[in-house]
Amino acid sequence: MWDKWTGNIRFEDGGLVVLMNINSGKGRAWQEGQEVAEPDTLKARLKQAHNA
């Protein structure tokens, strides 16, 4: 789902769920139901969602 007005997206791929704003690059991610807290892993998941 992508809200073009706000830039907010919801990206799902298997067990990965990402909620982020594509304009700011900030967001949160969950892998298999567990929130991704490690900064490098979170950055990689946000990049994956943005590229999709």
pLDDT tens digits for 7-25? 999 999 999 999 999 999 9
Predicted TM-score of the model (pTM)? 0.88
CB contact set of 5 (below 8 Å; sequence gap of 6+)? none
For residue 52, the model assigns a pLDDT of 86
Question: 36: how many CB neighbours lie within 10 A of its CB?
Answer: 19
Q: Is the pLDDT of residue 30 over 90?
A: yes
List alpha helices for 1-52, DSSP H: 39-51
